[in-house]
Chains A and B, each alone.
Chain A
Amino acid sequence: MEINEKLIERVTKLVIEEINAKGGVQVLAQGVKAAGSRMAEKTSYAGFPVARQGTDPKEVVIGVGPAFQRQINKTINGLSLEDVIKNIKAGVEEEGMVPRVVKVLKTSDVCFMGLEAARLSGSGIGIGLQSKGTAVIHQKDLYPLSNLELFPQAPLMTLETYRAIGKNAARYVKGEKVTPIEGQNDPMVRANYQVKAALMHIKETEQVDSDIPYIEWN
């Protein structure tokens, strides 16, 4: 069978029709909420200042995850999130740019978080940082799942790596060539950390709040 655009379009159309016939996505979402008695209580950020659109061309916005420094205080390999964010900010500052931290509440996906941060950033460059430590450097004009640099192996990250991520993000702002960030690779990481990563991601996803997209964070 040949898979082409038309076929995909037809399949998508059928799926949407079926969803609409069942009353749409909302029913589905309510269903989850109703059955979600085992979910952790959601922190309400009502009343927090909604993150503003930046105008400073030197700005790098760091978008952290919904559970950041509340439900989760350490990355998957035990680095304190306070140190992590401090090093990213220091990296940005050393390159002469201005860091700003926002908390993205509408999603827990690192790429979408990075893109939201980039869109809020005056320079168009942003960093997405999940509470478990996965990071991405994003640019506002890119597709969500595309990115400038992705650091997927959170268990192997060090504070120096986070400093370097901040520096590289700032260099993208300046239009300079970035230095490749030295990273480790360990084929066993996935096996060793898969369960912990999944649990941390669930914990983060539980805090997703579709009503407040993002707020200013310290």
Chain B
Amino acid sequence: MKLIAGVDIGNSTTEVCIGSFDDDGKVTFLASASKLTTGTKGTLANVPGIKAALEEAMGRLQKPVSSLSLIRINEATPVIGDTAMETITETIITESSMIGHNPSTPAGTGQAVGTILHIARLDQGREELPYILIADSSYSYEKVAELANQYSKRLNLTGIILQADEAVLVWNRLERKIPIVDEVKNISQIPEGKLAAVEVALPGQTVRMLSNPYGIATLLKLNADETKQVTPIAKSLIGKRSAVVIKTPHGNVKENILPAGEIYLEAGKTYVVNIDAGADKIMETLEEAGEVEDIRGQDNTNIGNMLSGIKAGMGEVSGETGGNIRITDILAVDTLAPVPIAGSLAGEACLEKAVGIAAMVKTQQLPMEKIALELKRQLNINVKVAGVEAVMASLGAITTPGTRLPLAILDLGGGSTDAAVIDEDGRVAVTHQAGAGELVTMLIQTELGLTSRLEAEQIKKYPLAKIESLYHMRLESGAIHFFEEAVDPKYFGSVVLLAPGEMIKLTQDIPLEKIAAVRSEAKKKVFLRNAVRALKKVAPENNLRNIPNIVLVGGSAEDFEVPEMLMEEFISFKIVCGRGNIRGTQGPRNAVATGLVLSYIGG
């Protein structure tokens, strides 16, 4: 009897499978283990992780590692993925002509028009004119209310703009109720003496007059030309709970397109596409180019630096020089990133267009032999680099109950989406596509404006819930779940992630529905698009219908919603698609390690 270990070094985890072969060559699987990969995949730094995983697996068998007769490690595919984000628009407010934000508590509702008057100059107000009062935070809510009440007997005050968060406090003390906008940080920049319009929306609604060009025209008495000019202002106020528009000669809101650089696709001839054109255009060009040899970015632009940075990183890993390292695939995704508006008075952010890019680098070969030698030296056991990763994964995937050949595997990893088709004769077609879990994480982080990458990663992984009281929470599905014991008060009112064994509190106040929508949209943009793209490349005659079953393997196949999304997509092609269950017990993990053990029969 021989004990054989299969070791799969992945980007994030190192998986081990132990099998024993009896004298007739019959294999029995004994144990498996999974540990975090130490260092970058394919470097000597992986050795400690491999040893730890081997020790854990052998520990389950209560045998020393030295009783292994052979360790088989995978011929890791020499690809790594990287991601970057590029904002391609910016919004600028000129002459402080607009305030549009969502203070948590504005007060009063409706619109008001008047000339801007500072509270210190109330005595200079003229009786015949309507005024909008502005007050900085050196005036307390009591003082503002007192002065407003006193002067409203003589003057026509129609609205108030406050710097402090005191709108409700002032409003409650007003004798004549008027709309109040508060939390305007840079109130000193509001030009005095200009005509302005203020609007506070009804509860649960957003502004209606000021988000409509004709509404602004009505309130500020604009002519047709001026109305055309204020259209960008109206557009940027859509969805706000309170807004102020000030009529200044050149005041406006501008959307600039930033020069983001060009991408050069080398495929026989050079295809050029500008990042500004958006993700669809980039992907179209990529498809048009066909088999791509290399992808470069314009020098001294963000995209250029990003792509050369990826190549340099890969060069360090493989010890190869520039020429042999090529970017063979990219995935571009359109997204929106909240960016602070230049020239804003209340710290508003605007959703700017951005393009997220994942790139994949190929080199000649990763130094797996070096790892094998080092492992052999340290453990004194025969180590063999055996088999291409995708072939081994296919072999492992066949152990999923209910599969048959030809079989496609879809390996949804962190850096790349790999697909392979193995037919009845054992022939394997393989492809690696840029863009997978890490791009999803980046999209989530950008669109929600999160500061922490880890938080975005957790949002990707775990379902959401809102803690509505100390005794119950509302799940993403809308169902209510009661706790046996009162929950820790720190969770009260928060949106949490239901990680196994604990709840993770999200730091920012973003509605649960929005997080869920952004999360599943990001997954669809990356995984769905990539799965179809990858499978088309490997399918016989490039036709998806020629694949009878797809087995999902790899870390992202454990995701709680991605397999369902893919299943829904592929059901229309009459394809059996589902999360793999390696050896009927391992779930989507351990496919490559299992394949490595199985392939020992063959050689």
Q: Which residues of A are in contact with B by a Cβ distance under 8 Å?
A: 90, 93-96, 139, 141-142, 146-149, 171-172, 175-179
Q: Is the CB of A93 within 8 A of B168?
A: yes
Known contacts A94-B105, A94-B166, A141-B471; 11 additional CB pairs below 8 A are: A90-B141, A93-B172, A95-B104, A95-B105, A139-B470, A142-B470, A142-B486, A142-B489, A146-B489, A147-B489, A148-B489
Convert B295-311 into 0s and 1s, putting 1 for each residue whose CB lies closer than 8 angstroms to a CB of A: 00000000000000000
Convert B124-165 into 0s and 1s, putting 1 for each residue whose CB lies closer than 8 angstroms to a CB of A: 000000000000000001000000000000000000000001
* Other-chain contact of B168, A95, A148, A178 (Cβ < 8 Å): A95
* Other-chain contact of A177, B168, B172, B495 (Cβ < 8 Å): B495
With both chains docked as a complex, state the minimum distance between the C-beta of B435 and any C-beta of chain A, in angstroms.
33
Q: Which B residues lie within 8 Å of A139 (CB)?
A: 470, 489, 492
Q: List 27 A-B contacts (CB under 8 A).
A: A90-B141, A90-B166, A90-B169, A93-B168, A93-B172, A94-B105, A94-B167, A95-B104, A95-B105, A95-B168, A96-B105, A96-B168, A139-B470, A139-B489, A139-B492, A142-B489, A146-B486, A148-B492, A171-B493, A172-B492, A172-B493, A175-B468, A175-B493, A177-B495, A178-B492, A178-B493, A179-B509
Q: Chain B at the A interface: mostly helix, strand, loop or mixed? A: loop
Q: Which B residues lie within 8 Å of A178 (CB)?
A: 492-493
With both chains docked as a complex, state the minimum distance between the C-beta of B467 and any C-beta of chain A, in angstroms.
9
Complex alpha-carbon distance, A18 and B422, angstroms: 82
Q: Does B38 contact A (CB under 8 A)?
A: no
Identify the interface centre among A93, A141, A146, A149: most chain B CB within 10 Å of its CB.
A93
Q: Which B residues lie within 8 Å of A172 (CB)?
A: 492-493
Number of contacts between A and B (CB, 8 Å)?
47
Interchain residue pairs A-B with the least CB separation, the first 9: A177-B509, A148-B489, A177-B493, A94-B168, A94-B169, A177-B494, A176-B493, A175-B493, A90-B169
Within 8 A of A (CB), among B563-581: none
Q: Does B469 contact A (CB under 8 A)?
A: yes
Q: Is the CB of B470 within 8 A of A141?
A: yes
Q: Which B residues lie within 8 Å of A94 (CB)?
A: 105, 165-169
Q: Which A residues lie within 8 Å of B141 (CB)?
A: 90
With both chains docked as a complex, state the minimum distance between the C-beta of A97 and any C-beta of chain B, in angstroms.
10
Q: Which A residues lie within 8 Å of B172 (CB)?
A: 93
Which partner residue on chain A sits nearest B505 by CB separation? Answer: A177
With both chains docked as a complex, state the minimum distance between the C-beta of A161 and any C-beta of chain B, in angstroms.
14
Q: Which A residues lie within 8 Å of B493 (CB)?
A: 171-172, 175-178
Q: Which residues of B are in contact with A by a Cβ distance under 8 Å?
A: 104-105, 141, 165-169, 172, 468-471, 486, 489, 492-495, 509
Identify the interface centre among B141, B167, B172, B492: most chain A CB within 10 Å of its CB.
B492
Complex alpha-carbon distance, A90 and B168, angstroms: 9
* Other-chain contact of A141, B168, B486, B495 (Cβ < 8 Å): B486
With both chains docked as a complex, state the minimum distance between the C-beta of B145 and any C-beta of chain A, in angstroms.
12
Q: Which A residues lie within 8 Å of B495 (CB)?
A: 177
With both chains docked as a complex, state the minimum distance between the C-beta of B77 and any C-beta of chain A, in angstroms.
44
Q: Which A residues lie within 8 Å of B168 (CB)?
A: 93-96
Complex alpha-carbon distance, A178 and B468, angstroms: 13
Complex alpha-carbon distance, A176 and B105, angstroms: 13
Q: Which A residues lie within 8 Å of B492 (CB)?
A: 139, 148, 172, 178
Complex alpha-carbon distance, A84 and B468, angstroms: 30
Complex alpha-carbon distance, A93 and B141, angstroms: 12
Complex alpha-carbon distance, A90 and B489, angstroms: 24
Complex alpha-carbon distance, A175 and B511, angstroms: 12
With both chains docked as a complex, state the minimum distance between the C-beta of A88 and any C-beta of chain B, in angstroms.
13
Which partner residue on chain A sits nearest B468 by CB separation? Answer: A175
Q: Which B residues lie within 8 Å of A95 (CB)?
A: 104-105, 168
Which partner residue on chain B sits nearest A97 by CB separation? Answer: B168
Complex alpha-carbon distance, A178 and B489, angstroms: 12
Q: Which A residues lie within 8 Å of B486 (CB)?
A: 141-142, 146
Complex alpha-carbon distance, A73 and B141, angstroms: 24
Q: Is the CB of A93 within 8 A of B489?
A: no
Q: Which A residues lie within 8 Å of B167 (CB)?
A: 94
Identify the interface centre among B165, B486, B493, B495: most chain A CB within 10 Å of its CB.
B493
Complex alpha-carbon distance, A131 and B169, angstroms: 25
Complex alpha-carbon distance, A110 and B169, angstroms: 28
With both chains docked as a complex, state the minimum distance between the C-beta of A93 and any C-beta of chain B, in angstroms.
6
Q: Which B residues lie within 8 Å of A142 (CB)?
A: 470, 486, 489
Complex alpha-carbon distance, A66 and B507, angstroms: 37
Q: Is the CB of A175 within 8 A of B469?
A: yes
Q: Which B residues lie within 8 Å of A179 (CB)?
A: 509
Q: Which B residues lie within 8 Å of A147 (CB)?
A: 489
Complex alpha-carbon distance, A111 and B141, angstroms: 31
Which partner residue on chain B sits nearest A125 by CB separation? Answer: B492
With both chains docked as a complex, state the minimum distance between the C-beta of B326 and any C-beta of chain A, in angstroms.
48
Complex alpha-carbon distance, A141 and B470, angstroms: 8
Complex alpha-carbon distance, A207 and B166, angstroms: 36
Q: Which A residues lie within 8 Å of B470 (CB)?
A: 139, 141-142
With both chains docked as a complex, state the minimum distance between the C-beta of B465 and any C-beta of chain A, in angstroms.
13
Q: Which B residues lie within 8 Å of A141 (CB)?
A: 470-471, 486
With both chains docked as a complex, state the minimum distance between the C-beta of A122 and any C-beta of chain B, in angstroms.
15
Q: Which B residues lie within 8 Å of A148 (CB)?
A: 489, 492
Complex alpha-carbon distance, A135 and B104, angstroms: 24
Q: Which A residues lie within 8 Å of B169 (CB)?
A: 90, 93-94
With both chains docked as a complex, state the minimum distance between the C-beta of B451 and any C-beta of chain A, in angstroms.
14
Q: Which B residues lie within 8 Å of A90 (CB)?
A: 141, 166, 169
With both chains docked as a complex, state the minimum distance between the C-beta of B129 and any C-beta of chain A, in angstroms.
30
Which partner residue on chain B sits nearest A143 by CB separation? Answer: B486
Which partner residue on chain B sits nearest A89 by CB separation? Answer: B169
Q: Which B residues lie within 8 Å of A177 (CB)?
A: 493-495, 509
With both chains docked as a complex, state the minimum distance between the C-beta of A176 and any C-beta of chain B, in angstroms.
5
Complex alpha-carbon distance, A179 and B493, angstroms: 11
Complex alpha-carbon distance, A90 and B165, angstroms: 10
With both chains docked as a complex, state the minimum distance between the C-beta of B204 and any C-beta of chain A, in angstroms.
14
Q: Which B residues lie within 8 Å of A175 (CB)?
A: 468-469, 493
Complex alpha-carbon distance, A194 and B118, angstroms: 47
With both chains docked as a complex, state the minimum distance between the C-beta of A56 and any C-beta of chain B, in angstroms.
16
Complex alpha-carbon distance, A177 and B471, angstroms: 16
